[in-house]
Chains A and B, each alone.
Chain A
Amino acid sequence: MNFSEVFKLSSLLCKFSPDGKYLASCVQYRLVVRDANTLQIRQLYTCLDQIQHIEWSADSLFILCALYKRGLVQVWSLEQPEWHCKIDEGSAGLVASCWSPDGRHILNTTEFHLRITVWSLCTKSVSYIKYPKACQQGITFTRDGRYLALAERRDCKDYVSILVCSDWQLLRHFDTDTQDLAGIEWAPNGCVLAAWDSCLEYKILLYSLDGRLLSTFCAYEWSLGIKSVAWSPSSQFLAVGSYDGKVRILNHVTWKMITEFGHPATINNPKIVVYKEAEKSPPLVLGRLAFPPPRAAAGPLSSTESKYEVASVPVSLQTLKPAPDRANPRIGIGALAFSPDSCFLATRSDSVPTAVWIWDIQKLRLLAALEQLSAVRCFQWDPRQARLAICTGGSKVYLWSPAGCVSVQVPGEGDFQVLSLCWHLSGDSLALLSKDHFCLCFLETEQGVGTAFGQRGDHT
């Protein structure tokens, strides 16, 4: 495992291009595009103000930089550095901006969700979509980029519009039986749309592409409902995390619940491997020497080292007592992610913020639990294999795979607090983002990884 040198970064804006060739990062008002492998600067663009959002177009030819404060979007071309485009939303303001899947249209949401403006880069045409709903996840495109589903609110009722992306024509428009629609999400195969109600009510609705209601699922009533939703990449399962601390898996044939994953604070089953991060005072030289990357030898190691220990059951995890008098209580399943092969599901329960739970979808049971020393900030699956990267806001990055678990210290002067991370398309490298910096972590090829895990395995 090798680490690149540390580069400057602001507002955690760092993204790999969809084709994996480039890495875009922002430093204040500058946009830097680097080669993803060599990290040499390919292009450098200067925006009018501090960049608040960037997004690659699907064909990796353009980058969109949103300057919400100014109500501006600036688009840059990678092929033609001199080409530029500036979209001004004027007094309507701007709160969100995104590419359409074809990479030639930009969807800007104005302030107060008054409308969505669709700007075309090919023609002068501008389209408006009225009544978009201000919600958690109101816009979703199908994987193939053909359709856009949009949550709308008219006359105190929720609607969903399905638009064809090629010409922005309305294909279907239907009302959803929800009190307050909170989000919509396409299944990866683009044929089923999941829509869920706000947290006040547990309700998830499944619609076909042609607007038929396929099924409704409600696990319970009179309590806080859905907090997070995730489709499996195979479109076979829909995982619904809710405020009762459970994940419910629905199947794609009957849309009924297959199983229910509770997140208990104590784990008694001896079959479940519980990895517990433990702090360790540094020396223990012999075993270590081979492992740290060459770069680390130059810089002094951070004083605290941590490693995973396999805890013996029963294990009780640290739980947070939710404050009942505050909004957005820290309970429920806050994050869900399926592995790319749909075999594993990683979850985080907000009442047990230090733990990541990994479930085996084939056997429908808990496979492993990772207890970190601090609260888990973010986790993401390797896009190629069942490998999970986790960061906790500390100076370490953690990797889990079915073979085991490693904790890797990010080398560098001072503390590199990993607040977020994102995988490269190939799964060979990983961008680690801190508040002001980012660096790349190159993972060895298959064999190298194997040995690395093997070595770590000795420690765990």
Chain B
Amino acid sequence: MGDWMTVTDPGLSSESKYISQYTSETKMSPSSLYSQQVLCSSIPLSKNVHSFFSAFCTEENIEQSISYLDQELTTFGFPSLYEESKGKETKRELNIVAVLNCMNELLVLQRKNLLAQENVETQNLKLGSDMDHLQNCYAKLKEQLETSRREMIGLQERDRQLQCKNRNLHQLLKNEKDEVQKLQNIIASRATQYNHDMKRKEREYNKLKERLHQLVMNKKDKKIAMEVLNYVGRADGKRGSWRTGKTEASFFLRNEDEMYKILLNDYEYRQKQILMENAELKKVLQQMKKEMISLLSPQKQKPRERADDSTGTVISDTEEDAGELSRESMWDLSCETVREQLTNSIRKQWRILKSHVEKLDNQVSKVHVEGFNDEDVISRQDHEQETEKLELEIQQCKEMIKTQQQLLQQQLATACDDDTTSLLRDCYLLEEKERLKEEWSLFKEQKKNFEKERRSFTEAAIRLGLERKAFEEERASWLKQQFLNMTTFDHQNSENVKLLSAFSGSSDRDNPTVHSRPRQKKPHGAPSGSPVCMSKLTKSLPASPSTSDFCQMRSCVSEHSSISVLNTTPEESKPNQVGRECTNQKWSVASRPDSQEGGYSGRSSTYADSHVEKDDLP
């Protein structure tokens, strides 16, 4: 590096020198000529740069050197060293300020150049080292390439060898195959030859046998004989029968018959066995089916409650099937029909069982979700119990946490190694935190559910309140009506009609008026004699407020408020008119205290309320 520096320094300076020389030459100023001479002379005179510079300007050539410098500088784009001449004759004055500025600028330039030079040098260095590195890399890669090339060549060689071997082996295999083929051919030919020989030999043997037979048997061999003291009876006690042409045929037939009888017996026996086996298998199937049904039927109620469950209906179907099957004496049916029915029903039930088991599995996996879903349905008491239980659990958990904290503290106190204890504590805390978080989320979920529950309850309560209000209003209006009835009759008629219609219009929230009319006809059709609509009836009635009219009104009102519950009142009133009157009187009597905030009607209203509540709740 040091070398480099030293080498470059003079080069640079010489270059600049040359440039300056060149520029001066182009200008061809007299001073330059001189200075050139001076330069040329000065260089050999003194190698010192300083001395050369000092030689540039002397007492005599100040003017010249200034003008030269001015020229030089102007060529480089600096402002002129001289002041602006006002006239052509006037001698140009040297501007000191400009000179100083120029000098300063030159110095700045010089500094900048130096900096740039330094940068360039460092970059150069950097590049040099990069180059080195790259060269190294290159060499390495080259080496690698070489080795891999060598390897490749080696592998190729091996491949070639293996291929050679393979070819040889193939050849061998082919040879072997050929050999095998040849041997097989030989074997085959030998076998045929052997068979042929055998046959020939056997024929010869047979011929010999035949000959021997003739020789041995045909010659009256005295020796072939049986000596018996006396012939014994047959085992079956029968006497031997003589064979004649006729009997032979019959014998043969009898033998055939017997043979077929034996065969038949055997087949019958086997069929019986198979039948028995079948029956047993059927029994097993039937039993299995029954057991399946009995196993599946308890679940029947449950699935039916669930609206989306299809199994309930399927089970009932199969049960019907089973009923049919058991009713028919199915063992007597032919195999195919019974088999089909049986297998079908069994298959169906099996499918049900399978789906049921699968469902159970699913339920087990979703037991959490299911539990929450169920809570929506279950009563408030259960909720409360559950919350109590949960609170208890929380309490227990808290206690546990407390004890654990205590234990931890104790451990902390006793522990000597700080690091491990802190670690342990950390991990315990983490664990605790995890658990708590889990519990927290659980509680949150439960809380949400409770909130939902509460909301539903409040809604129900609101609805109830509204209904009660409506009922109260109704009653009030009815009372008012009654009151008016008692006071102004003519007016009442029209009022009554209007009120009724209005009422029916406003309160058809649940029950259409169409329904109410036939119902009110039922109890009152008998006394009035003809089914007429309400308004007509009231009109046809005498002006005085009759009891039956009241009754009608009452039943109507009651029906409007809640048909399902208060239905009983018209039916009660149906059997006898007297009773109705009685109740009516009671009613009318009771209405008076009610108008002043009474006890009886109030009670009745609460009664209705309770009913309504019960009705609406589910």
Residues of chain A at the chain B interface (Cβ within 8 Å): 58-59, 77, 82-92, 102-104, 110, 112, 114-115, 119-126, 146-147, 153, 155-156, 164, 167, 169, 171, 189-191, 208-210
Contacts and interface: CB of A to CB of B under 8 A. Distances in A.
A382 to B, nearest CB: 26
B209 A112 contact: yes
Given A103-B235, A125-B240, A146-B262, A82 B213 contact: no
Nearest to B217: A92
Nearest to B231: A122
A86 B198 CA distance: 39
A84 B230 CA distance: 8
Contact of A171 (B224, B230, B248, B256): B256
A88 B223 CA distance: 6
Contact of B255 (A82, A119, A171): A171
B252 A169 contact: yes
B221 A167 contact: no
B368 interface: no
Contacts of B235: 58-59, 102-104
A133 B95 CA distance: 154
A114 B216 CA distance: 10
A90 B234 contact: no
Most-contacted residue by chain A among B199, B233, B262 (CB, 10 A): B262
Given A86-B226, A120-B240, A169-B252, A191 B232 contact: no
A114 B224 contact: no
Interface string B208-226: 0100110011000111111
Contacts of B22: none
Nearest to B265: A191
Given A83-B230, A122-B232, A156-B202, A209 B212 contact: no
A123 B226 CA distance: 11
Interface in B554-612: none
Contacts of A146: 258, 262
Closest 4 CB pairs of A and B: A90-B223, A90-B224, A191-B266, A123-B240
Contact of B213 (A85, A104, A115, A121): A115
Nearest to A62: B232
A114 B212 contact: yes
B212 A171 contact: no
A23 B165 CA distance: 76
A91 B256 contact: no
B483 interface: no
10 contacts: A77-B232, A84-B227, A85-B227, A88-B225, A90-B216, A104-B234, A125-B240, A191-B262, A209-B262, A210-B260
A386 B258 CA distance: 35
A86 B203 contact: no
A127 to B, nearest CB: 10
Given A104-B235, A146-B262, A85 B216 contact: no
Contact of A90 (B221, B240, B252, B258): B221
A2 B303 CA distance: 73
Nearest to B269: A189
B231 A83 contact: no
A156 B262 contact: no
Contacts of A147: 259
Contact of B233 (A92, A115, A122, A191): A122
Contacts of A89: 223-224
B413 interface: no
B253 to A, nearest CB: 11
Given A92-B216, A92-B217, A125-B240, 8 more contacts: A84-B229, A85-B228, A88-B224, A123-B240, A146-B262, A156-B198, A167-B255, A190-B262
B243 interface: yes
